[in-house]
Amino acid sequence: MRIAYLVTSLGMGGAERQALMLAERMARRGHAVTLLALLPPAAEEWPTILETARLNMGKTPWSVAAAMARGRRALGEFRPDILHSHCFHSNLAARAMKLLHPGLKVVSTVHNVYEGGRLRMLAYKLSDGLSRRTAFVCEAGARCYAELGTVSARKSIVIPNGIDTVEFAPDSVRRGQMRTTINACGRFIWLAAGRVAKAKDYPNLINAFARVYAQRAESELWIAGEGAEAAGRELQALASEVGVSGRLRWLGLRRDVPALLDAADGFVLASAWEGMPLALGEAMAMGKPVVATDVGGVLELVGDAGLIVPAKEPEVLARAMLDVMDHAPEEHEVMGRAARARIEARFTIDASLRAWEKLYGEVLEDARS
């Protein structure tokens, strides 16, 4: 097959990383693959070996028109069997490109239960007919968009994010080295990962950690992700106000996440909304005890292999974190093995690739019938 992947950017987010993993592995499986990015290059991006067409879309109508013209030329040269887009802006752009290339077979992927307000949902609804299928990374997302009436139920499908269980595999030697490098000093390390954004609800996490620290002074919280090293003044002030600024490490954007997960003792996600968070699945693959809020597809991902708590309730989140810390190291290992086993059984990148290949084949078969 000839597959073109359209992303908004190559920025360091989970949806972008999942799209790149999919595209690069499809190329390795023998498909002809090209990549299109709507936005100009960012300061920090995921690296890729794929040929990438930059459409350089800006905010002005002229730049949008110019970007669409570049996209039309790129698709005309590549002549894809499938145009597969990811997240709101790319999904809408791919559907617009369908108007310029009527023969395009568009597949859209929605990576979150919340991709914007009423106007965006109206745009999805009005353009639904231009997409052959719309995939969601979790059942919760599919239900949400069905209830909003933005996507035809007969064209919806759920394909969960896939985890690379080879890259994300625990390594005891690496754990010791990283804990020494980062001076963990025998403390219980909680790791959170994800860009500093409203969806991640870091105030909820900081307030919860303050309660944890009040009872377990040997605990420490690390936050890794884009913008974390320069976290907003409000977050810095909150950490100082609740007395944890000395035990909260803002690690910033990191490219050594497997090593950080090795060094950590537990993983915590305090989000207000999500799709199916890649970082959480990676932590499970690394054999970490996990505590996460019940948003989006989190429960579908974690099942009974971790602790799930309501969103926006720091007291409950703190109790769950303390519950994990109260277990013996041997029990942590049991929890971690259960978490990794769940990923290996249900959420591997290979399983995801097979599901996407099957979907692409069905789209092409439907187009021929």
Give dist(CA 286, CA 74) in Å, integer.
39
Residue 217 maps to a domain = yes
Tell whether the model's pLDDT for residue 229 goes beyond 90: no
Contact 112, 273 (CB under 8 A): yes
117 and 229 in one domain? no
Based on the domain organization, do 137 and 195 belong to the same domain? no
Residue 73 amino acid letter: R
Q: Write down the pLDDT at residue 91.
A: 98
CA distances from residue 252 to 188, 195, 231, 340 in whole angstroms, order as listed? 20, 9, 9, 26
What's the CA angle centered on 86, arms 224 and 352, to 5 degrees?
80
pLDDT of residue 96: 96
| Contact of 23 with 90, CB cutoff 8 Å | no
Tokens 């099942």 correspond to what residue? Answer: 303
Query: Is the confidence at residue 231, as pLDDT, over 90?
Result: no
Q: Is residue 193 part of a domain?
A: yes
Residue 178 in domain: yes
**Residue 99 within any structural domain of the chain:** yes
What pLDDT does 36 receive? 98
Average pLDDT over residues 233-238: 90
Instruction: Tell whether the model's pLDDT for residue 234 goes beyond 80.
Output: yes
pLDDT at 233 over 90: no
Q: Which two tokens stand for residue 182?
A: 């980062």
Say if residue 257 is in the same domain as residue 327: yes
How confident is the model at residue 275, as a pLDDT? Answer: 95
What mean pLDDT comes out for the span 313-324? Answer: 98
Predicted confidence (pLDDT) at residue 369 exceeds the cutoff of 80: no
Same domain, 187 and 119: no
- What CATH number corresponds to the domain at position 337? 3.40.50.2000
Q: What is the pLDDT of residue 358?
A: 97
Q: Which two tokens stand for residue 29?
A: 């499986």
Assess whether pLDDT exceeds 80 at residue 270: yes
Whole-angstrom distance, CA of residue 201 vs CA of residue 48? 30
Strand order in the sheet with 188-193: 248-252, 219-224, 188-193, 266-269, 290-293, 307-309
pLDDT given for residue 170 in this prediction: 97
Average the pLDDT over each of 251-255, 277-281, 305-309 and give the range with the smallest value: 251-255
Residues 330 and 360 in one domain: no
Would you say residue 254 has pLDDT above 80? yes
Task: Give the range among 117-131, 139-153, 206-220, 227-241 with minimum mean pLDDT.
Answer: 227-241
Cβ neighbours of residue 166 closer than 8 Å, sequence gap 6 or more: none
User: Is it the case that residue 189 has pLDDT exceeding 90?
Assistant: yes
Burial of 87 (C-beta count, 10 Å sphere; 0-12/13-18/19+): buried
Rounded to whole angstroms, the Cα distance separating 53 from 247 reads 43
Do 188 and 272 fall within a single domain? Answer: yes
Q: Is the dihedral of CA 243, 249, 253, 254 positive or negative?
A: negative
pTM (predicted TM-score): 0.94
Looking at the fold, whether 195 and 307 belong to one and the same domain comes out as yes
For residues 23 and 29, give the distance between their C-alpha atoms in angstroms, rounded to a whole number. 10
Tell me the percentage of the chain whose pLDDT exceeds 90.
Answer: 90
CB-based contact 219:291 (threshold 8 Å): no
Domain of 283 in residue numbering reads as: 172-346
Based on the fold, state whether residues 356 and 337 are members of the same structural domain. Answer: no
DSSP labels, 81-123: SEEEEESHHHHHHHHHHHHHSTT--EEEEE-BS---SHHHHHH
Q: Sheet holding 52-54: strands in order across? A: 52-54, 32-37, 2-7, 82-86, 106-110, 133-136, 156-158
Do 42 and 9 contact (CB within 8 A), yes or no? yes
Read off the pLDDT of residues 110-154 as tens digits, 9 standing for 90 and up. 999 999 999 999 999 999 999 999 999 999 999 999 999 999 888
How confident is residue 319, by pLDDT bands cut at 50, 70 and 90?
A: very high
My answer on whether 136 and 201 are in the same domain is no
Residues 114 and 191 in one domain: no
Which residues fall within 8 angstroms of residue 204, CB to CB, at 6 or more apart?
Answer: 270, 272, 293, 311, 312, 313, 314, 317
In a domain, 167, yes or no: no
Q: Please, which pLDDT band fits residue 276 given cuts at 50, 70 and 90? A: very high
Are both 360 and 287 inside the same structural domain? Answer: no
Helix axis angle, 278-285 to 329-346, nearest 10°: 120
Instruction: Tell me how far apart the alpha carbons of residues 360 and 17 are, in angstroms, rounded to a whole number.
Output: 20
Q: Which of 23-27, 226-230, 253-257, 330-334 has the lowest mean pLDDT?
A: 226-230
| 196 occurs within a structural domain | yes
pLDDT at 246 (0 to 100): 93
- Beta strand pairing call for 82-86 and 106-110: parallel
Tens-place pLDDT, residues 6-63: 999 998 889 999 999 999 999 999 999 999 999 999 888 999 999 899 999 999 999 9
Cα 168 from Cα 171, distance rounded (Å): 9
Alpha-carbon gap, residue 35 to 19, rounded angstroms: 10
189 and 244: one domain?
yes
Q: What φ, ψ does residue 94 adopt, rounded to 5°? A: -60, -40
How high does pLDDT run on average in the chain? 95
Domain count, the chain: 2
Alpha-carbon distance of 335 to 310, in angstroms, equals 20
